[in-house]
Structure 1
Amino acid sequence: MAYAFWHYTTAMHQVAHGSQTSQTPHVEGHFESSAVVRDIVIGLSDGLTVPFALAAGLSGAVASSHIVVLAGLAEIAAGSIAMGLGGYLAARGDAEHYVSERQREEREIIERTHDEEEEIYEIFEQYSVDRSSAYPVLAALKQNPTAWVDFMMRFELGLEKPAANRAVRSASTIAFSYIAGGLIPLLPYMIIDNNGEALKLSTIITLLALAIFGALKGKLVGTGWLRSAIQTTVIGGIAATVAYALARLLNASHV
């Protein structure tokens, strides 16, 4: 946010003073799809762990791989719908919250102009910018009420405008990621009749998938592929182990 604040206020300062630059614009490549990555992480991580735990738990209770596969597919279908719906409702809630807060800010710059001006100065004070230096930016913002509201939404409330159709895209991304993740631990049961051997292979490919997924995520967001791979594998492995242990415990209690 500090970079965005500097970039925004520098641009507004240039507008206020009518200054222009003849230099070639400097374009930086920043990763801007964090919301999509978050949805993929949510869908894939749950898709990899929950069906794996279900299949592992059933492996000790039934002898037929066919039953394990059917139960796993049913869980994937139900889980993807539930996760997708949750993502849709969460994104809709974020969008409605943004609209509500923006309407409030639009009213306040008209009805409580002085208070909003003071809030501008307070924002700049957080970055050690005094009132005299901040005044030209404030004056420029007052000439453009839409930009003023945009500034307050971003730097006072920390809210970014949700992308169009964000709710639908979030729901579909989470749902399809869940399906993709869920099919991985079930593959061994589709090709191997022995549940014990299928469980071993399922464990290996699930952990491998978690590692690959973590590495790709780390490379995309710039946190380091190795660190992200280890972190994702450990966390996913712990979650799968706990879920597997609970499933076996419940199976044992009904025997």
Structure 2
Amino acid sequence: MQHQHPHPENHLTSSAMLQDIVIGLSDGLTVPFALAAGLSGAVQSSGLVITAGLAEVVAGSIAMGLGGYLAGRTEVEHYAAELQREYQEIAEVPHVERAEVDELLQEMGLSAATRAQAVRELTADPDQWVRFMMKYELGLEKPDPRQAPKSAFTISTAYAVGGLIPLSAYFLTATPTEGLVLSAVMTLVCLLIFGYLKSRMTGQPPVWGALKMAGTGALAAGAAFLVARQFERQ
């Protein structure tokens, strides 16, 4: 008897948390850095940059966390509304819903005889029928109602951590110009590392992911710095 070796399934199972970390950390690294870079071109005090930067990190962290929570709650409410609508439709127009089940099964490549049996079995149980329609007609998976507060905490924390990295350079230097140089180096390195690791975890080309993440941050900071310079000259 031959022993079959199990095939390793290397799938990413924590996609929701990873997505929240990516959203929070990427914005946390780029937005406060862009703000600090812009202020560095307009003021002569590192204290002002630090004060404004900390205020932005706190406000941004709260706003991002709230946005993540509202997005999660909206997904739950949307699923609940569509679920109720599907139950109503199979009760009021079951012949139409059965025809839609048959059409979906036909798109999957099932024969007429197999479809007829599958339709009978799927529509025998209203709960099973509705779950099928939710997934294959509407493309909706049941969301975790606990995900909204989890997303809020993860995004908010990731944003705060990301935002403190570029801002910390101004605590270590005497002038905004020196702080900007150190902050740029620190942020660029973090963006490269973060972009590389994120791409590796999601199965994307890691080097390209690192360069894309760093390029996005550099463009945002450069735009903010140039705008601040223009206001300073006026």
Q: TM-score, normalised by structure 1?
A: 0.83
Instruction: Give unpaired runs (5+ residues) of structure 1.
Output: 1-22
The CA distance in 1 between the partners of 2:231 and 2:134, in whole Å, is 49
Q: 1:247 to 1:41 in 2, by over 3 A?
A: farther
Q: 1:103 to 1:38 in 2, by over 3 A?
A: same
Q: Which of 121, 138, 152 is the equivalent residue of 1:171? A: 152
Establish whether residue 85 from structure 1 lines up as the match of residue 62 from structure 2.
Answer: no
Q: Which has the higher contact order (CA 8 A, sep 6+)?
A: 2
- 1:169 offset after TM fit, Å? 1.2
Query: Over residues 71-111 of structure 1, what are the superposed CA-to-partner deviations in whole Å (9 max), with x where a residue is unaligned?
Result: 10011001111111111112111111100000111121222
Q: Which of 33, 41, 49 is the equivalent residue of 1:68? A: 49
- Please say if residues 52 and 202 of structure 1, whose CA atoms lie closer than 8 Å, have aligned partners that are also in contact: yes
Matches within 5 A, 1:1-255: 28-253=9-234
Q: 1:239 to 1:126 in 2, by over 3 A?
A: farther
- 1:160 offset after TM fit, Å? 1.1
Q: 1:54 to 1:117 in 2, by over 3 A?
A: same
Aligned-partner residue type, residue 96 of structure 1: E
- 1:151 offset after TM fit, Å? 1.3
Aligned-partner residue type, residue 215 of structure 2: V
- Please say if residues 53 and 247 of structure 1, whose CA atoms lie closer than 8 Å, have aligned partners that are also in contact: no
The CA distance in 1 between the partners of 2:110 and 2:220, in whole Å, is 47
The CA distance in 1 between the partners of 2:125 and 2:8, in whole Å, is 26
Aligned-partner residue type, residue 176 of structure 1: T
Q: 1:120 to 1:78 in 2, by over 3 A?
A: same
Aligned-partner residue type, residue 152 of structure 1: M
Q: 1:127 to 1:241 in 2, by over 3 A?
A: farther
Equivalent pairs counted in the alignment come to: 231
Aligned-partner residue type, residue 62 of structure 1: V
- 1:133 offset after TM fit, Å? 2.4
- 1:26 offset after TM fit, Å? 7.0
Query: Over residues 40-75 of structure 1, what are the superposed CA-to-partner deviations in whole Å (9 max), with x where a residue is unaligned?
Result: 222112111111111112212222212211110011
- Please say if residues 134 and 140 of structure 2, whose CA atoms lie closer than 8 Å, have aligned partners that are also in contact: yes
Instruction: Give unpaired runs (5+ residues) of structure 2.
Output: none
- Please say if residues 37 and 224 of structure 2, whose CA atoms lie closer than 8 Å, have aligned partners that are also in contact: no
The CA distance in 2 between the partners of 1:43 and 1:76, in whole Å, is 11
The CA distance in 1 between the partners of 2:140 and 2:54, in whole Å, is 39
Aligned-partner residue type, residue 128 of structure 1: G
Q: 1:149 to 1:26 in 2, by over 3 A?
A: farther
- 1:220 offset after TM fit, Å? 1.6
- Percent identity of paired positions between Structure 1 and Structure 2: 50
Q: TM-score, normalised by structure 2?
A: 0.90
Aligned-partner residue type, residue 59 of structure 2: A
Give the superposed CA RMSD.
Answer: 2.1
Q: 1:214 to 1:90 in 2, by over 3 A?
A: same
Q: 1:120 to 1:58 in 2, by over 3 A?
A: same
